[in-house]
Amino acid sequence: MLSEKSGPLGPEELAGYQRDGFVVRHSVLSQQECATWVAQVARAQGTALASIDLGAHEGEPVVGYTLDDNRFFDLAHITVQLEHDDLSGAVRVIEPIQDLIPAFNALIDDARLTAPMQQLVRDTSLSLWTAKLNVKSARSGSGFAWHQDAPYWTHDSDHVARLPNVMVLFEEATLENGCLRIIRGSHDRGLLPGCEDGRQLQGFYTHPQAFSTADEVALAAPAGSLIFFDPFCVHGSGPNLTDRGRSAVILTYQPGGYPTLKSRVLRPVVS
């Protein structure tokens, strides 16, 4: 379901979200806003890499580890994942981004995001669950395998069905640079079985026999677009094959009064 509007979701948008598991709003943020956020992304990458190089963040040691050949570093409760290619040293993920770069708090409270989220969470009072920065560096930006978000969260939340996501595109998302792909309607099937292929994180990837790629939708969209999607949607993305980077943030909201995923600190949403 595609839309060009802002403000609360209209009846057709809500019906599309319920049917498909997602709704897209094109070019909600201006080009100037996107440029400002791209600069904040670069700042976040530099801050994270500097902390890793120093081996400390705000006086605490940085903890590094590897899972399925992916490199992770914990800066206290903030997790940084680097690109698979050991030579690139590029940041792939930072979560939660607002605790590293406080400027992202303004986006979390932006009414263009929170008004639809009040409808999807089914509560006028919201709090943040998590905020994850996703970066696909030019040429080296890797893809994300098919997965649902719910398996990552089900042991930490008793209201997983009320944890909808919104992906905010700071740069244009295309087929060539690894746009988000969703299996249409997969949210209706609940928690699907994970893979059994020997990977350390095998259970977090959706078993290929549990869904059909015939239902795949590639969500190419302009910079500034918002993609709202259900936590039970099977989704993934391809690598960035272009000469330009592609960055986005995925914000996950929940009913008010509940703490965030990583720090377990309540972060109320001002809407």
pLDDT in tens, 71-129: 999 999 999 999 976 566 899 999 999 999 999 999 999 999 999 999 999 999 999 99
Closest by Cα among 247, 100, 253 to 166 = 253
Label residue 1 by pLDDT band (50, 70, 90).
Answer: very low
Cα–Cα distances (Å) from 129 to 46, 58, 138, 178, 214, in that order, read: 25, 23, 29, 25, 31
Percent of the chain with pLDDT over 70: 97
Q: How far is 249 from 132, CA to CA, in rounded Å?
A: 6
Domains of the chain: 2-29+93-255 (2.60.120.620)
Per residue in 20-70, pLDDT (tens digit) is: 999 999 999 999 999 999 999 999 999 999 999 999 999 999 999 999 888
